[in-house]
Structure 1
Amino acid sequence: MRVIRNLNKWGQFGRQPEKSQKFPLHARPALGLAVARRCAYMAAMAAPILSFENLGLNQGTGWLFRGLDLHIGARDRLALIGRNGTGKTTLFRLIAEQIEADEGRRTIQPGTKVVLLEQDPDLAGHETLRDWALNGEDAPAPHEIEAIAGQLGIDLDTVSETASGGERRRAAISRALAQNPDVLLLDEPTNHLDLTAIDWLEDWLGRFKGAFIAISHDRTFLRRLTKATLWLDRGSLRRAEIGFGGYDAWVEKIYAEEARAAERMDAKLKIETHWLHRGVTARRKRNQGRLTKLWELREQRAQMLGPTGVAKLSVESDEVKTKSVIDARRITKRYDDRIIIDDFTLRIQRGDRIGIVGANGAGKTTLLKLLTGEIEPDEGRIKRAKTLDSVVIDQQRSKMEPEKTIRDVLTEGSDWIDVRGTPKRIEAYLKEFLFDPGLAEAKIGTFSGGERSRLLLAREFAKISNLLVLDEPTNDLDMETLDLLQEVIADYEGTVLIVSHDRDFLDRTVTITLGLDGSGKVDIVAGGYEDWEKRRRPARATSKPRGKAKSAPAAPPSPSKPSKLSYKDQRDLDRLPGEIDKIDAQIARAEEALADPDLYQQNPDRFRALTEEIDEARATREAHEERWLEVAEMAEALETG
């Protein structure tokens, strides 16, 4: 029925639905569930606010894509997935009319406003972030952008030339959201954002009244927000009416069907062109086994941590001592009068995978520098293994000279690369990192940002080391590269330190999470981001609520001012965040099962049950979110008096 209600909003019906229409579509005797859902879906798709038919773009060396059809509804929540270099960002620029297509037709409802949040906006020529944000014909009103910037915690008077990646990203988000778009195109929106800002953006988009399409490597972001998936692959665009939670199962089915078709045609050459995708499929299956091993390592590590998350240094066997890589005891670090790290103790062992999380400015970089020896503590001591040999992978891709070739970057012109002491042909090594082996002579300037990041990983992972330091390694990477990175980290024999805001990636890779809250305290939790989040959730439930979308109605003021929340209100404030997380997991499981293209033919009852389950779960989640916002605002009002 949600589709029909949306159609009514689009003006396709001149009156409210008849009472009989309020029953679920599958209850109508004349129509089976699948037919009814398809009819409703096609009716909705007949009245999109923005459409493209037979879209094609030729980049000179050939067609990047051709024959693409895309229809965007008024309330679509779409994930756009595809490997780096397939044209996702280019497709966004076409939708936003920044470039023109070589083929195809664009249809848009009058008055529809399309806004693109770019990955790297050009701030050249603008003295401050405010100057840039308020420039141009489509610039938002100053008070609109100030309101959003304030909620995101960005000072728009910051000088553009010296602004950090996080400050530039917040300014770009403030400008995009303040324009009141009908269609919002989000190109890697969580890049350079800390966890607080990501939470705020998720809340805003959850209440956004328009449509959005998101390109993102952040699986958690996509799972929580999207309800349909676009897959740009080998020049074609597919759409599935499932959220990102069902994406992997859907793609695996498509690859399996293509492989079977190629085998039936006895087209060996054709199937050989799928080496990348078959490798991806196998990699995902192997990673399931690695995840099982990761859970075991977390259990072992949890037994070595005390109930408050402090390493049990008093229990020191010779075996533990010999495995120690970094031994930090009661360290404190200050800058001026501010304590950044306060009385922190932890022994890091060989093979540990340590994730460091927290808001920007909380002290993540300081802690990383302390652990690696770049700076020393003001109090306490840190003992490091004498044989420590580290490799640091940070965001250096911009330093790669565009005129150099892949061969220059990896081997300085040689046909062979030394991979941790073992020589390999460069073509074979490129294949391991998802590059076409024939690209050895391609220039760096022709690659996307994500492809450059992947090349940087290939170069650094070839070096001999026993300590791997990764600073925001997932920025701009596609899903296949993230799977590859997960595999490489799992197989790495040394110790890994990861600073990241990518929640799903941390859940898949680390054994211990160090969480910083900005006060100097460091939580030590066995497990990943979700384990740390569970620990701090009770405190967050009573904290100041995050910013709201402009279109969300404000709660009416209370006629009286009670001194505290009622029992029911306090109970809802405490329990609802956990309930919402459970519902998100339920939806993801159902969408994954629904991604099976043969499900309806083989088990129509199961198909019906899953679709009903998803609809009901989404409705419940929306109700829970609204209720939590209501009581959180009440708590804030009491807190501020």
Structure 2
Amino acid sequence: MAAPILAFEDLGLIQGSGWLFRHLDVRVGERDRLALIGRNGAGKTTLLKALAGHIEADEGRRTIVPGTRVVLLEQEPDLTGHATLIEWALAGAEAPPRHAVEAIADQIGLDLSRESATASGGERRRAAIARALAQEPQVLLLDEPTNHLDLAAIDWLEGWLNRFAGAFVVISHDRTFLTRLTRQTLWLDRGGIRRAEIGYGGFEAWTEQVYAEEERNAQRLDAKLKLEEHWLQRGVTARRRRNQGRLAKLVEMRAQRAAMIGPQGGAKLAIATDEVRSKTVIEAEHVAKRYGARTVIRDFTLRIQRGDRIGIVGANGAGKTTLLRLLTGEIAPDEGKVRLAKTLNGIVIDQQRKLLAPGRTVREILADGGDWIDVLGTKKHVAGYLKEFLFDPAVAEARVDALSGGERSRLLLAREFARASNLLVLDEPTNDLDMETLDLLQEVIAAYDGTVLLVSHDRDFLDRTVTVTLGLDGSGAVDIVAGGYDDWAKRRAARPEARKAAAPRGEQAPPPPKKAKLSYKDQRDLDLLPAEIEALAAAIARDEAALADPDLFTRNPKKFDQLMQAIEAARTRKEAAELRWLELAEQAEALG
């Protein structure tokens, strides 16, 4: 392994009355693409700040190659004291050149003249990205970079990082983002850290092996496992196995829903049976909504059934919130009708987390200070209910202010899922959540008896959760697709107008071909490439699973190197095949 350009040896940090972590060895090579994984509260953000040199460690030694520029993209940048976003982006001794910041801001659609005080979460995140990337780092430390970003901005950031010549370490809950970008994994777990030379795609297989080995070691030593220490690990393993069955059920539900959606994406309202009508909870018919001269939603028709999981996706400003408010009856359409079942009883979990009052304890929020909480008509002890949402029961007396952002989000989910309801409205629920909490949230949504309306930019979460995706492109049209994000993206990718809309500002989408039909070679590639892409994806997954063996490098370094080279080659071929297929699909669509 080449010498690192940034490292921390024997790192230790005290938090509160004890050690957050101790004796950590972290090394970052000049071309590393590291996923930093760990439970909420494990210290991931603190570790990034220590690597960046922003906080002083209580133990250990930080080393860095002279001249190496390390830049930290913080999760919540402090814009206090700066009137506008551009003023903040150019502040400080390490401020990047103005032209560099403006160039990146233009590419990601950010108006830097926006007042800091009124800027949205997405605008603040874009400003932080523009400042960080314009500093031309050799090592980039990213703390939840996709939070508050829309899909177009996430795609742009993925492209930039794929071309980045330096190293990066990233904390993210976005599985798709991590799988596409990372090649190594750092796992911060129970005060220690492990490293594997695999991307996030092989992480789950690796952790299963680690937990299985711990179990075998405990049995060999004839030691009884401590329940309070290991209940979470065993729960994670069981949950992932249950999720496989849940995903199979989700595929079946999508197939049933596809039969109710017309060929142009509109719901077949006119021919619905009495049984279907009796299950309808929200019915939208030829709905339109305008703000001034702009039509945000036009001619939208959909019948939402009891038990549907509806995902809403699109760029910021495309009309997602407007559509959500129309479907819940919060606002009225300018044209058409929206009918809601009289029995609807909804709860809304929004991005602002308004229900978590500072200064209150976890027990006060969950059970009004008592020991018992009413969960859907069943009394449960606070300690037991906290375990269901991956909390140590001792956290019951903690103040909300002391919890991490992810823990506060998880607490809000625990509180709201205890209430009786038949409509659940989730606005960006995955922000700040760790992977294990995301698995839990997917399971809870799957078991929910009612209907779910979900706005999210987390592509993997949508693919694992929703039965129908409503996609908005800003034109007023709403795509209705049975399936998740991936199903919607495939439909959009084949349409020339979608590719044109997705082109970066200032660039023109390529003109459609003028041929009468595809050539023999092009048609053959169009037909055969999907199977090739699937085969390459399977090969990558297989080789990453093999690399997850923690003893492979020591036992067989030659095979380890062969697998690494094979994965890299397969990724390159897969990316080229995907681009080729998209180009051919666009040409075929233009030719009719």
Give yes or no for TM over 0.5. yes
Q: Distance in 1 between matches of 2:264 and 2:552?
A: 47
Q: CA deviation at 1:52?
A: 1.1
Kindly provide the CA deviation profile for residues 522-563 of structure 1, in whole angstroms up to 9, marking residues without a partner as x: 000000000001101122685367559xxxxxx9xxxxx999
CA contact (8 A) 1:54 1:69 kept: yes
CA contact (8 A) 1:94 1:100 kept: yes
1:590–1:610 CA contact under 8 A, matched in 2 = yes
CA contact (8 A) 1:76 1:227 kept: yes
Percent identity, please: 68
Distance in 1 separating the partners of 2:374 and 2:511: 70
2:500 is matched with: 543
Structure 2 counterpart of 1:447 = 403
The equivalent residue for 1:433 is 389
Q: Which residue of 2 aligns with 1:223?
A: 179
Amino acid at match of 1:87: G
Which of 486, 497, 512 in structure 1 is aligned with 2:468? 512
State the distance in 2 between where 1:149 and 1:600 align. Answer: 43
Task: Tell me which residue corresponds to 1:617.
Answer: 570
Provide the secondary structure at the position in 1 that maps to 2:42. coil
Q: Determine if the alignment matches structure 1 residue 68 to structure 2 residue 68.
A: no
Give the aligned partner of residue 461 of structure 1: 417
* Alpha-carbon spacing, 1:268–1:115, altered in 2? closer, same or farther (3 Å): same
SS at match of 1:122: coil
Distance 2:112 2:229 in 1: 49
Contact 2:140 2:168 in 1 (8 A): yes
Which of 358, 366, 370 is 1:414 aligned to? 370
1:72-106 CA distances to partner (integer Å, 9 max, x unpaired)?
A: 11111010000000000000110111100111111
Q: Distance in 2 between matches of 1:205 and 1:577?
A: 26
Task: Show the counterpart of 1:31.
Answer: none
CA distance in 1: counterparts of 2:97 and 2:559, whole angstroms = 50
The match for 2:96 is 140
Equivalent residues, number: 575
2:79 paired residue number: 123
Task: Kindly report which structure 2 residues correspond to 1:287-302, keeping only aligned pairs within 5 A, or say none.
Answer: 287-302=243-258
- CA separation of 1:66 and 1:543: change in aligned 2, threshold 3 A: same
Q: Are 2:548 and 1:595 equivalent residues in the alignment?
A: yes
Q: Which one of 381, 392, 406 corresponds to residue 337 of structure 2?
A: 381
For 1:153 and 1:105, locate their aligned partners in 2 and report how far apart those are by CA, in whole Å. 41
The residue identity in structure 1 corresponding to 2:360 is K
1: distance between equivalents of 2:143 and 2:265?
A: 37
Contact 1:351 1:495 in 2 (8 A): yes
Higher mean C-alpha deviation, range 583-592 or range 167-176: 583-592
Alpha-carbon distance in 2 for matches of 1:321, 1:290: 26
Contact 1:473-1:500 within 8 A present in 2 as well: yes
Q: Distance in 1 between matches of 2:164 and 2:557?
A: 34
Task: Verify the 8 A CA contact 1:262 1:270 in the aligned structure 2.
Answer: no
Distance 2:385 2:374 in 1: 10
- Does 1:194 pair with 2:147? no
Cα distance in 1 for partners of 2:522, 2:181 equals: 26
For 1:582 and 1:129, the matched residues in 2 are separated by 46
* Corresponding residue of 1:320: 276
Are the counterparts in 1 of residues 353 and 409 from structure 2 also a CA contact under 8 Å?
yes
> In the alignment, residue 252 of structure 1 is paired with which amino acid?
E
Contact persistence 2:355–2:412 (CA under 8 A): no
Could you tell me how far apart the structure 1 residues matched to 2:63 and 2:309 are?
50
1:85, 1:448 within 8 Å by CA — same for their partners in 2?
A: yes
- The letter for the 2-side match of 1:226 is T
User: Does 2:445 match 1:492?
Assistant: no
Distance 2:430 2:273 in 1: 37
Confirm or deny that 1:307 pairs with 2:307: no
Structure 1 residue 175: deviation in Å? 0.3
Superposition deviation, residue 461 in structure 1: 0.4
Q: Distance in 1 between matches of 2:132 and 2:257?
A: 44
1-structure distance, mates of 2:253, 2:16: 51
1:262 aligned partner = 218
Following superposition, the deviation at residue 184 of structure 1 comes to: 0.3
Partner of 1:279: helix, strand, or coil? helix
**Distance in 2 (alpha carbons) for counterparts of 1:565 and 1:213:** 45
Q: Judge conservation of contact 2:297–2:477 (CA < 8 Å) in 1.
A: yes
Alignment of 1:152-163 (within 5 A): 152-163=108-119
Distance 1:518 1:586, change over 3 A: farther
Indicate if the aligned counterparts of 1:204 and 1:547 stay in contact, CA closer than 8 A: no
Tell whether 2:134 aligns with 1:178: yes
> CA separation in 2, counterparts of 1:287 and 1:66?
34
Contact 1:224 1:584 in 2 (8 A): no
Matched, 1:90 2:43: no
Contact 2:196 2:550 in 1 (8 A): no
Displacement of 1:268 after TM fit? 2.0
The within-5 A match list for 1:293-372 is 293-372=249-328
Determine whether 1:522 maps to 2:478: yes
Give how far 1:166 is off: 0.5
- Report if the CA contact (8 A) 1:199-1:546 is conserved: no
Alpha-carbon displacement from aligned partner over 1:151-186 (angstroms, at most 9, x marks no partner): 010000000000000000000000000000000011
The whole-number CA distance in structure 2 between the counterparts of 1:67 and 1:608 is 28
Superposed displacement of residue 604, structure 1: 9.8
Range with bigger deviation, 390-399 or 48-57: 390-399
**Aligned-residue offset at 1:586:** 4.2
Q: Distance in 2 between matches of 1:489 and 1:563?
A: 43
What is the Cα deviation at residue 612 of structure 1?
Answer: 4.6
Q: How far has the Cα of 1:277 moved from its partner?
A: 0.9
Q: Distance in 1 between matches of 2:269 and 2:511?
A: 48
CA distance in 2, matches of 1:605, 1:271: 40
Asked if residue 104 in structure 1 is aligned to residue 104 in structure 2, the reply is: no
So what's the TM-score if we normalise by structure 1?
0.85
Cα distance 1:342–1:82, how it changes in 2: closer, same or farther (>3 A)?
same
**Pairwise CA distance, 1:580:** 6.8
Query: Structure 1 residue 414: deviation in Å?
Result: 0.9
- Measured in 1, the distance between the counterparts of 2:513 and 2:412 equals 54
Q: Which runs of 5+ in 2 are unaligned?
A: 588-592
What's the Cα RMSD here? 2.8
2:590 is matched with which residue?
none
The amino acid across from 1:529 in the alignment is Y
Alignment-mate amino acid for residue 93 of structure 1: K
Give the equivalent residue in structure 2 for 1:36.
Answer: none
User: 1:233 is matched with which residue?
Assistant: 189
Matches of 2:149 and 2:284, distance apart in 1? 29
Name the residue aligned to 1:210. Answer: 166
User: Structure 2 CA distance, aligned partners of 1:600 and 1:157?
Assistant: 52
One-letter identity of the residue aligned with 2:88: W
Q: Is the 2:197–2:547 Cα contact (8 Å) retained in structure 1?
A: no
Question: Please, which runs of 5 or more residues in structure 1 have no aligned partner?
Answer: 1-41, 549-554, 556-560, 636-641
Structure 1: distance between partners of 2:153 and 2:511: 31
User: Residues 474 and 375 of structure 1: is their aligned pair in 2 closer, same or farther, counting only changes over 3 Å?
Assistant: same
Please report the TM-score for the alignment, with normalisation by the length of structure 2: 0.91
Deviation at 1:53, TM superposition (A): 0.8
